[in-house]
Structure formats: structure tokens, C-alpha cells
């Protein structure tokens, strides 16, 4: 049994859908027990969300324009694949009804002047609900047995509507009850990615890019042999190809490495995708819909191939918050109080670094959370601030984290030094650094303006493009290097 997930570009227009149909046919010939999970057409989820937000602000024109785009794009592809007139009429009716639903919801948002997370979840999930029935029809037109299934019937979540957390047991039971009878008849279920529902059937979504997670959840629920993520690049690459044009596809990654890359911004996989797969040890393949002969990347529990540094990624739109002051030294509980104050704001911290003198703690978090967190910290430490034991909490915006990932870094000396040399030689300043105790990730906080250059220099320094020597055997650093050796959690402000 296998689950095949197709991303937005794989279903973005008739030509792409034809390619997706080809891949499904080929895969189903290999294993007739195949489940297809699909995203919305590329750009559709953005359009739905933009329209809803504009409606909230009183702009009704935006959703009226979007209505035309949605009708045009979906009817076009339906007509391109479905020759049978009855089926085309039925499908056209479904498309019209979904788009009317979109319009009614946006109108309600405009009247109320308020867009709740619950409302946004319904609207943002319409793209998958529009496209999946069309893909099912396109597969049938190709002679395959396929049936549309709404993931609201399969994936059961909590009511954190915009980024809902699945309830695994309920999801497993619902998925098996609904999909196994189809699979037994060798019917391919074509399931909406991204969307889910609470136990009461209220629509939720799994967070932006969440269709990968949907694929993995269904794969785990069905004890699939493989989860395939079909996208528009040749697998997980050594870096974002938009930054590093000669980034190379990695044949193999561990779950841990893939999760680190995804968490730190490699868009190719949703960060939670690996979780259900790890639980059941299911391999994830990342493959190119437009180059199906290429094997892509296999994500598994343990990898055999070396390479100290495998890949790097960058996450943008961050702020560095520093809590500093002489009064912090030797005072127990400062870190606990700091992060309790951060947690109270529901913010998640991406990186933490503390100076060994204990005079400062700095951490990095998403820009949008900064104001709340800073206010929360000033309140938590109001007494210390008044007594001047702690200086004000400072926030530095326009920060990025460049994460360097590879399990082989563990026990390979000189990685950090090589990293700092690569940046130092080009005059790029590292603001803070942290290394996880797993040693499979070194995170560097840098100014946003330096991000792309840093990624390119590091990619070159470790020869990740694989020109000539491979980085498994890179020579030890020369001893003249001015770069400091990294210690865990060392703060390098001004280094
Ligand atoms: P899909 O619509 O198939 O889900 P996404 O746009 O979500 O595709 O993810 C694929 C894109 O991720 C690629 O086109 C590429 O631009 C980007 N990307 C960023 N980092 C990486 C990386 N390390 N490896 C591969 N792709 C990456
Ligand atoms: N369509 C959704 C999004 O754009 C989910 C996905 O593509 O994975 O976020
Ligand atoms: Mg995606």
C-alpha cells in the first residue's frame, strides 16, 4: 500500500495534471493499493485567504474577482479531462456550488467585519475541496478506478482551526473504516490534503503547506509501505534552489535530518510530515512529478551515506530578543522565568543562546510574536528592571536563522570552524549560534540582508554541489584559521 501526495504545482494547470495522472497510473500499476492526496491548484489557497482577509477589511471586490478566477481555472481543467458530458455537467455543478459557498462565506465575513480562525479554516480549505473531485474524474477518464474522498471524514483534529492537531486513534479508525473497503476493490481514493475536521465535523486545516502532513497521517493510519511526496523539484536538495541554483538532490536523509530542514524553512516538506512516519517506520520518498524517472530523496530512520554536512536552509522574518544585565549572574531561575513568560504568550522559540557569563540570554522567535513577548518579559522582570538588575529587554528585527544540518557532523571535528571561516572570509557577521545536543544541526542567527550570501558561501565551503571532492573527506582546517571554535550555545555578538 502506498500514499501519493501531489503538491500545488503538480495540479496547477491541465498540463501538470496530465503529468500527475501519468504518475498515478504508473504507480498504481506497481501497487494497486494506492491512495492519492492532493493540494489545491498552485496559488488557490493564497487567493482564498487574501479574499477572506480583504472581505474582513470591507473590500468585497476582491472575492468577486477571485470568484471568476476560481471558476475559470477549475472549469478549464475539468473540461480538459472529462469527455463524458454527464460527468462533466455533474462536476461543473459541484465546482459552481463550492464557489458559491466561497462567495457566501466571504459575504458573511464582510457583513460581520470579522474573520475568525474557524471561518478562515473553512474558506482556506475550499481549494483542495474544489480540486480533488476533478483529479478523481481525470483519473477515471484515464481508465483508472478512482473516487473522491473528503479528508474531513478521515482526519480528526482538535479545534485549533488554523493549525489543528490530529487525534491519531480517531484518525486511524475513521481512515481505515472509510478507505480500506475502497482499497480492497482496488479503487484509488483521491483525498483532499490540508483539510480535516473536529470530532463534531467542524472543518479545520493542518497549517500552510499541510498537505504533506495529510499524506503522512493517512500513510500511518493505513500502515502504508511508503509515503510519496510528489513536487516540482528532484527531491530534498542541499539548499533552496531559488538561492543556490546548483543545489543537488540528496539520495537519502534521516527522519531527523529532514525534520530539522523542514523546521528551519525548507519548504519542500511540512515540518510535521515526519512524525507519523517515524511512529510506524514508513519511508517517505520526495519525488519530482515532472521528472518521474528520477528516484528523488528517500527519508528513512537511518542513513548509510556519509557527508558531514548534508544541507542547509534559512528561515526568515525573525527577531532576536535579548534579556541582559549584571544582576542575572548566578541568580537561579532567570532562564525558567524568561521562557515561562515567552510560553505564556503562546510563542515558539526557534533558537536559544546564553553567554557563559550568564549575563544575557538571547533567543530568536517569529517577528509577529515579538511585541507580545517583549511586553510579557518586561512585566515578568519589572522588579529586576526597576532595580537595574536587568537592563531593558531588547529586540533586534530582520533576523534570519541559517541552519546547517547533517547527522554526520557528530564526531566530525572542525565543522563549526569551517562554517565561521566561510562567513568571516566574506565579512558576514554571525550574531548568535546554537548547536543542538544531537549535533545534527548548527543554527546561526544573521542579519536578513546577509542570508542568501551566507547560504551560498556555506554551500560552497562544504562543496555541497558535489563538484570534485565530496565533503565526507574534506581536509582538516588549516591552523591559521581565525575562526573561533564553536561551543554549545555560545553567543557571538560582534564576533
Ligand atoms: P508543493 O506545492 O509540491 O507542496 P512546495 O512549493 O510546498 O511544493 O515545495 C517545493 C519547493 O520548495 C521547491 O520548488 C523549492 O523551491 C522549495 N525548497 C526550499 N528549500 C528546498 C530544499 N532544500 N529542497 C527542495 N526544495 C526546496
Ligand atoms: N494548499 C495548502 C497551502 O497552500 C496546503 C498545501 O499546499 O500543502 O498551504
Ligand atoms: Mg508544499
Question: Does 215 contact ligand 2 (Cβ within 6 A)?
Answer: no
Last residue of a domain, one of 197, 213, 232: 232
Output DSSP code: residue 186.
T
What spacing in Å lies between the alpha carbon of 296 and ligand 1's midpoint?
Answer: 13
* Together in a domain, 76 and 198: yes
Q: Which residue has the cell 524568561?
A: 338
**Residues in the chain with pLDDT < 70?**
305-306, 356-358, 437-438, 468-495
Residue to mutate (ligand 2; options 12, 163, 211, 216; most atoms within 8 A of CB): 211
Last residue of a domain, one of 211, 232, 253: 232
pLDDT in tens, 330-347: 777 888 899 999 999 989
* Together in a domain, 224 and 317: no
For ligand 2, atom 8: residue with the closest CA:
209
Question: Does 20 contact ligand 1 (Cβ within 6 A)?
Answer: no
* Together in a domain, 211 and 325: no
* Together in a domain, 194 and 319: no
Report how far residue 37's alpha carbon sits from residue 5's, in angstroms, rounded to the nearest whole number.
4
* Together in a domain, 56 and 205: yes
The sign one gets for the Cα dihedral 213, 219, 220, 225 is negative
Which ligand has the nearest atom to the CA of 38? Answer: 2
Report how far residue 87's alpha carbon sits from residue 72's, in angstroms, rounded to the nearest whole number.
18
Residue to mutate (ligand 1; options 42, 241, 262, 263; most atoms within 8 A of CB): 241
Residue to mutate (ligand 2; options 45, 47, 123, 213; most atoms within 8 A of CB): 45
Separation in Å, CA 404 to CA 5, 38, 310, 415? 27, 31, 8, 10
Question: Does 467 contact ligand 1 (Cβ within 6 A)?
Answer: no
* Together in a domain, 21 and 164: yes
CATH number, domain at 317?
A: 3.30.2130.10
What's the pLDDT at 313?
Answer: 97
Which ligand has the nearest atom to the CA of 41? Answer: 2
Report how far residue 38's alpha carbon sits from residue 192's, in angstroms, rounded to the nearest whole number.
5
* Together in a domain, 215 and 320: no
What's the pLDDT at 482?
Answer: 30
For ligand 1, atom 12: residue with the closest CA:
268
If you count them, how many residues does the chain have? 495
What spacing in Å lies between the alpha carbon of 126 and ligand 1's midpoint?
Answer: 22
Between vectors from CA 349 to CA 347 and to CA 351, what angle results, nearest 5°? 170
Residue 376 lies in a domain: yes
> Is-contact 403 261, C-beta < 8 A?
yes
Residue 284 lies in a domain: no
For ligand 1, atom 4: residue with the closest CA:
7
> Is-contact 249 236, C-beta < 8 A?
yes
Residue 266 lies in a domain: no
* Together in a domain, 20 and 134: yes
Q: What letters, b where the CB count within 10 A reaches 16 and e where it falls short, cover 112-137?
A: eeebeeebbbbbbbbbbbbbbbbbbb
Residue 294 lies in a domain: no
For ligand 2, atom 7: residue with the closest CA:
209
Q: Which ligand 2 atom is at minimum distance from the Cα of 214?
A: 8
DSSP class per residue in 355-418: -TTSSEEEEEEEGGGHHHHHHHHHHHTHHHHHTTSS---EEEEEEEEEEEE-GGGTT-TTHHHH
Question: Does 267 contact ligand 2 (Cβ within 6 A)?
Answer: no
Reported as type and span, the H/E element at residue 490 is none
> Is-contact 9 16, C-beta < 8 A?
yes
**Residue 142, C-alpha cell as written in the block:** 484515464
Residue 64 lies in a domain: yes
Residue 224 lies in a domain: yes
**Residue 197, C-alpha cell as written in the block:** 475536521
Give strand pairing partners of 404. 312, 442
How many CA within 13 A on the CB side of residue 301?
7
Question: Does 153 contact ligand 1 (Cβ within 6 A)?
Answer: no
Report how far residue 46's alpha carbon sits from residue 343's, in angstroms, rounded to the nearest whole number.
29
Question: Does 266 contact ligand 1 (Cβ within 6 A)?
Answer: yes
- Boundaries of domain holding 466: 311-472
Q: Which residue has the cell 485567504?
A: 49
**How would you classify the pairing of strands 188-192 and 195-197?**
unpaired
How many CA within 13 A on the CB side of residue 451?
23
- Domain count for the chain, please give it: 2
What spacing in Å lies between the alpha carbon of 209 and ligand 2's midpoint?
Answer: 4
Residue 364's nearest CA partner among 402, 390, 339, 400 is 400
* Together in a domain, 213 and 344: no
* Together in a domain, 225 and 320: no
Residue 287 lies in a domain: no
CATH number, domain at 215?
A: 3.40.1160.10
Report H helices in 193-237.
Answer: 211-221
**Residue 393, C-alpha cell as written in the block:** 529587554
What spacing in Å lies between the alpha carbon of 150 and ligand 2's midpoint?
Answer: 15
What's the pLDDT at 485?
Answer: 30
Question: Does 127 contact ligand 2 (Cβ within 6 A)?
Answer: yes
- 221 backbone dihedrals φ, ψ, rounded to 5°: -60, -30
3-class DSSP assignment, residue 252: strand
* Together in a domain, 200 and 90: yes
Residue 301 lies in a domain: no
Q: Which residue has the cell 512529478?
A: 289
What spacing in Å lies between the alpha carbon of 5 and ligand 3's midpoint?
Answer: 10
What's the pLDDT at 357?
Answer: 65
* Together in a domain, 227 and 374: no
Residue 231's nearest CA partner among 150, 302, 292 is 292
> Is-contact 70 62, C-beta < 8 A?
no
What's the pLDDT at 359?
Answer: 80
Last residue of a domain, one of 184, 217, 232: 232
What spacing in Å lies between the alpha carbon of 233 and ligand 1's midpoint?
Answer: 7
Report how far residue 40's alpha carbon sits from residue 208's, in angstroms, rounded to the nearest whole number.
11
What spacing in Å lies between the alpha carbon of 372 and ligand 1's midpoint?
Answer: 31
Amino acid at each position: 500500500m502506498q500514499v501519493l501526495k501531489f503538491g500545488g504545482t503538480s495540479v496547477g494547470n491541465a498540463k501538470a495534471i496530465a503529468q500527475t495522472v501519468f504518475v498515478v497510473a504508473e504507480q498504481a500499476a506497481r501497487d494497486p493499493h494506492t491512495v492519492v492526496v492532493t493540494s489545491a491548484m498552485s496559488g488557490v489557497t493564497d487567493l482564498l485567504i487574501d479574499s477572506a482577509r480583504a472581505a474582513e477589511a470591507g473590500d468585497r471586490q476582491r472575492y468577486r474577482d477571485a470568484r471568476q478566477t476560481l471558476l475559470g481555472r477549475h472549469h478549464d481543467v475539468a473540461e480538459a479531462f472529462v469527455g463524458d458530458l454527464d460527468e462533466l455537467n455533474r462536476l461543473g455543478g459541484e465546482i459552481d456550488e463550492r464557489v458559491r459557498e466561497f462567495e457566501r462565506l466571504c459575504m458573511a465575513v464582510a457583513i460581520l467585519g470579522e474573520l475568525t480562525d474557524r471561518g478562515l479554516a473553512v474558506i482556506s480549505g475550499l481549494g483542495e475541496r474544489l480540486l480533488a473531485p476533478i483529479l478523481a474524474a481525470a483519473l477515471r477518464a484515464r481508465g483508472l478506478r478512482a473516487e473522491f474522498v473528503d479528508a474531513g471524514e478521515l482526519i480528526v483534529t482538535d479545534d485549533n482551526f488554523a493549525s489543528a492537531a490530529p487525534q491519531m486513534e480517531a484518525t486511524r479508525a475513521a481512515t481505515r473504516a472509510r478507505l480500506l473497503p475502497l482499497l480492497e476493490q482496488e479503487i484509488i481514493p483521491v483525498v483532499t490534503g490540508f483539510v480535516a475536521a473536529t470530532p463534531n465535523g467542524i472543518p479545520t486545516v493542518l497549517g500552510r503547506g499541510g498537505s504533506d502532513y495529510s499524506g503522512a497521517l493517512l500513510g500511518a493510519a493505513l500502515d502504508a509501505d511508503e509515503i510519496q511526496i510528489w513536487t516540482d523539484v528532484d527531491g530534498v536538495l542541499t539548499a533552496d534552489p531559488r538561492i543556490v541554483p546548483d543545489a543537488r538532490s540528496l539520495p537519502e536523509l534521516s527522519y531527523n535530518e529532514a525534520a530539522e530542514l523542514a523546521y528551519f524553512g525548507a519548504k519542500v516538506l511540512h515540518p510535521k510530515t515526519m512524525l507519523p512516519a517515524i511512529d510506524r517506520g514508513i519511508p517517505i520518498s520526495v519525488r519530482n512529478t515532472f521528472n518521474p524517472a528520477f528516484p528523488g530523496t528517500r527519508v528513512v530512520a537511518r542513513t548509510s551515506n556519509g557527508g558531514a554536512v548534508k544541507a542547509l536552509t534559512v528561515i526568515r522574518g525573525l527577531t532576536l530578543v535579548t534579556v541582559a544585565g549584571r544582576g542575572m549572574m548566578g541568580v537561579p531561575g532567570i532562564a525558567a522565568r524568561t521562557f515561562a513568560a515567552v510560553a505564556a504568550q503562546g510563542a515558539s522559540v526557534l533558537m536559544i543562546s546564553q553567554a557563559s557569563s550568564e549575563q544575557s540570554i538571547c533567543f530568536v522567535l517569529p517577528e509577529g510574536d515579538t511585541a507580545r513577548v517583549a511586553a510579557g518579559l518586561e512585566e515578568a522582570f519589572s522588579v529586576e528592571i526597576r532595580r537595574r538588575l536587568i537592563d531593558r529587554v531588547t529586540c533586534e528585527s530582520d533576523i534570519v536563522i541559517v541552519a546547517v544540518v547533517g547527522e554526520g557532523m557528530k564526531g566530525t571535528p572542525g565543522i563549526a570552524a569551517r562554517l565561521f571561516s566561510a562567513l568571516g572570509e566574506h565579512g558576514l557577521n554571525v550574531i548568535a549560534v546554537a548547536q543542538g545536543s544531537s549535533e545534527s544541526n548548527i543554527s546561526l542567527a544573521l542579519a536578513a540582508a546577509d542570508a542568501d550570501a551566507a547560504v551560498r558561501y556555506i554551500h560552497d565551503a562544504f562543496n555541497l554541489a558535489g563538484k570534485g571532492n565530496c565533503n565526507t573527506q574534506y581536509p582538516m582546517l588549516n591552523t591559521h584559521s581565525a575562526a573561533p571554535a564553536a561551543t554549545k550555545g555560545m553567543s557571538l555578538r560582534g564576533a
